[in-house]
Amino acid sequence: MTETSYSGLAGKVVLITGGASGIGAAFVRAFAAQGTRVGFLDIDAEAGEALVKEVAATSDTAPLFVPCDLLDIDALRAAIATVHKSLGDAAVLVNNAANDQRQVLAEVTPAEFDWMIGVNFKHVFFAAQAVVPQMQARGGGSIINMSSIAWMRGAPGLPAYAAAKAAIVGFTNSLARLVGPDRIRVNAIAPGMVITERQRRLWYPDEKAIAELRTRQMIPDAVTPEDIARMALFLASDDSQRITRQCFQVDAGLG
């Protein structure tokens, strides 16, 4: 496949949360390949540092990795400030970090619920809060929030996760209207079944189960992290300059 080149992205600052592995790492690779200046946050320092070395070997500019526990909002704000000081005003924010921990409704404690909302939604709100002034200062930008088809399909083992991912769409709609006059676009992406290394290790060790789920897709091919990254590149680029307040499903038509 020939990858699309978005020349307008070159030199722009892109901030990605949860960028050390899985779909987040695909975002880092894809944006770095477009010549952007990437800063990414993640709690996994080892994976983050390894990704920096990998990308630096194939790109003109190494991404900036800032270790951060996104559950700590003060730490999140400090990490975003570090990226801002090093790279400048963000043109693109990709709110990617999440955890799709399975839960049994009757067993969820208030602490576990708060943790799920914190790891899947709270940091999205406060990262946007911190970055919007940067985008206003530069005259515009693109915020891309990661939702999920889990809330659309009603995934029974993900009650708190689905609630958080639905909340992200509500926040996307509200924020898009609030910051639209500043030429800041806000959209969401809802991936389908993307089998990352973590997904395979924790939830889908059986290839037969994966194959069965793919029979529910209209397009039978696997949805990959790179597929999600391609959508993010489009939403970050000037090619989508009149698109805002949308949630794009990238799920091969999963029913």
Q: Give a yes or no: residue 5 inside a domain.
A: no
Q: Total structural domains in the chain?
A: 1
158 and 102 Cβ atoms separated by less than 8 Å: yes
**Catalytic site residue from 27, 161, 171, 248:** 161
Would 130 be classed as within a structural domain? yes
**Residue span of the structural domain in which 62 resides:** 10-250
Whether 61 and 88 have beta carbons less than 8 Å apart is answered as no
Distance CA 118, CA 163 (A): 12
Quick check: is 47 in a domain? yes
37 forms bridges with which residues in the sheet? 13
Please give the average per-residue pLDDT across 9-27, as a whole number.
97
DSSP 34-51: TT-EEEEEES-HHHHHHH
Interval 94-111 mean pLDDT: 96
The confidence score (pLDDT) of residue 214 equals: 86
Residue 119 lies in a domain: yes
Task: Write out pLDDT tens, residues 164-219.
Answer: 999 999 999 999 999 999 999 999 999 988 877 787 776 677 788 788 888 899 99
Our answer to whether residue 204 is catalytic in this structure is no
Determine the Cα–Cα distance for residues 31 and 91; give it in Å rounded to an integer.
Answer: 12
In-domain check, residue 57: yes
In the numeric block, the tokens 């889990």 are attached to 150
Whether 232 contacts 94, CB under 8 Å = yes
According to DSSP, residue 192 is labeled: -
Q: Is 25 domain-assigned?
A: yes
129: phi then psi, degrees, rounded to nearest 5: -55, -40
CATH number at residue 183: 3.40.50.720
Residue range 49-77, pLDDT digits in tens: 999 999 999 988 899 999 999 999 999 99
Q: Does residue 4 fall inside a structural domain?
A: no
Answer yes or no: is 2 within a domain. Answer: no
Instruction: Tell me the CA distances in angstroms from 151 to 65, 111, 162, 195, 234, one per residue in order.
Output: 31, 21, 4, 18, 24
